[in-house]
Structure 1
Amino acid sequence: MAELESQFQLVTFHLGEELYGVNIMDVKEIVKLQNVRFIPNAPYYVEGIINLRGEIIPIIDLHKRFKLQSGSASSDADVNDGGFIILNIEGSQIGIIIDKVERVVSVKAEDVKEPPQMLSGIGSEYIEGVIRQEQGYLIMLNIRKLFNAKELQKIIEMQ
């Protein structure tokens, strides 16, 4: 945690019932759900690709990556809340599917605690830290550890 600035911002979102966050500096944009084109022989967690203003962006399903249930049973009003967060990882753009975007929050580095060994089925290797909040906790993801170098190269080649 020492490499974190004293205060930073996270884009927060839901995957199922859990609240996650990624550093705002790693986020290019948030876009509404759209059709994803299937790619044969892609890794199990790659949903496919989208064409976003002429750029081909691989889309990752974090539910599959983290072995989580897909979005919670939601009302029709919540259907439009889902979308993609487009991340910049190692100079490439990769989209992740989210159930619902929440908001941008400011976090003090001192409030980030070490992740427990196992948290909601996600291995601690993907987690930068955990932040206590009034309504439970926020899981801060380390997007650079979501994929090993070989996986990242395969995903980038899809572009």
Structure 2
Amino acid sequence: MAAIDSQYQLVTFQLGEELYGVDIMDVKEIVKIQAVRPIPNAPYYVEGIFNLRREIIPVISLHKRFRLQKAVLDDDNEFEGGFIILNIDGNKIGVIIDRIARVVSVNTSDVKAPPQMLSGIGTEYIQGVIRQESGQYLIMLDIRKLFNAKELQNIIDMK
């Protein structure tokens, strides 16, 4: 039996100047920017909560979490931002993105180990790095490592 090179399906998006991707199976949906209600005494990276079809979703800023600058977008791209709703162990969490890119297929053999430090994000949050044909890198995030168990529980309890 011939070995079949397996693939990842990644939802890609821009945060700051970098392109990131998460496994499509971890993405519930993508929604346009909505009004977020702040939560008193929340961790610095929690923007607040919003109501998505009668479900309260906590919203996280990876810009703040990783100390990233927001992307500088021209007038044509300024409305391409939004929230990616992730499903982390059965819990929905919204992540603010600067710009949605597209869904891409990536061969597992093309995913390389991340360098020690990449754009301010520690390697513990990165599943791998993929060099694209354009010469740009796609950083594959491991959403289950973005928050430790205690942080995740605190975020979930804010609903």
- Please give the TM-score of this superposition, normalised by the length of structure 1: 0.94
What CA deviation, in whole Å up to 9, does each residue of 1:54-100 have, x standing for no partner?
A: 0000000000011111222x222222110000000011000000000
C-alpha separation between the residues in 1 aligned to 2:81 and 2:29? 14
C-alpha separation between the residues in 1 aligned to 2:112 and 2:88? 24
C-alpha separation between the residues in 1 aligned to 2:113 and 2:98? 25
Match of 1:111 in 2: 110
**Letter in structure 1 aligned against 2:104:** V
Match of 2:87 in 1: 88
Match of 1:154 in 2: 154
5+ long unaligned stretches in structure 1: none
Deviation at 1:112, TM superposition (A): 0.3
Match of 2:124 in 1: 125
Matched residue of 1:156: which SS?
Answer: helix
Within 5 A, what are the aligned runs for 1:15-94? 15-72=15-72, 74-94=73-93
What CA deviation, in whole Å up to 9, does each residue of 1:121-156 have, x standing for no partner?
A: 110010000001022110000000000011000000
**Letter in structure 2 aligned against 1:66:** F
Matched residue of 2:70: which SS?
Answer: coil
C-alpha separation between the residues in 2 aligned to 1:107 and 1:75? 29
User: Number of matched residues?
Assistant: 154
C-alpha separation between the residues in 1 aligned to 2:19 and 2:66? 14
C-alpha separation between the residues in 2 aligned to 1:96 and 1:145? 14
C-alpha separation between the residues in 2 aligned to 1:110 and 1:77? 35
C-alpha separation between the residues in 1 aligned to 2:89 and 2:122? 22
Matched residue of 2:144: which SS?
Answer: helix
C-alpha separation between the residues in 2 aligned to 1:78 and 1:132? 24
Deviation at 1:8, TM superposition (A): 1.8
Match of 2:137 in 1: 137
C-alpha separation between the residues in 2 aligned to 1:116 and 1:32? 33
- Please give the TM-score of this superposition, normalised by the length of structure 2: 0.94
C-alpha separation between the residues in 2 aligned to 1:132 and 1:71? 21
**Letter in structure 2 aligned against 1:109:** T
Query: How many percent of aligned residue pairs carry the same amino acid?
Result: 73
5+ long unaligned stretches in structure 2: none
